[in-house]
Amino acid sequence: MELSFEGIGQVAATFATQEAQEEKLSIGQVVTLTAEGTVGLGTAGAAPCGVILALEKDQKATVQVDGFVQVAYTGDTAPTVGWGSLGVDGNGGVQVASSGGRSCLIVQVDTAAKTAVIKL
């Protein structure tokens, strides 16, 4: 039997998207709060808010804000399984944060694919 964390504890909310980034956003990207009720890619190291599940034509995004989700990571240091601090990378993924970021439970890491399954 294969391990699967997909959909466990998933909670989603609708946010406005940052105007300057509407064309850069896509499903599966990790976003951060950029203003009240608004998400965007943010700057590297900012705390992740969630992962985009859907994008609408009216500049709204459905964002998973809790539960287990697979994310892409960047940087030379791979996340390690257990509790770790992650920040957005500013391009739709996460990176290990030495300061700032957000504490997340990391349950799987695929270094070949550069993905991790985390609990937001």
DSSP state of 14: E
As given in the structure block, the two tokens for residue 104 are 């997340």
**pLDDT for res 101:** 92
**pLDDT for res 7:** 83
Percent of the chain with pLDDT over 70: 97
| Local structure of 73: helix, strand or coil | strand
- Whole-structure pTM value: 0.92
As given in the structure block, the two tokens for residue 94 are 């996460």
Per-residue pLDDT tens for 75-113?
999 999 999 999 999 999 999 998 889 999 999 999 999
* Cβ contacts of 11 within 8 Å, gap of 6 or more: 64, 65, 66, 67
Predicted confidence band at 21 (pLDDT cuts at 50, 70, 90)? low
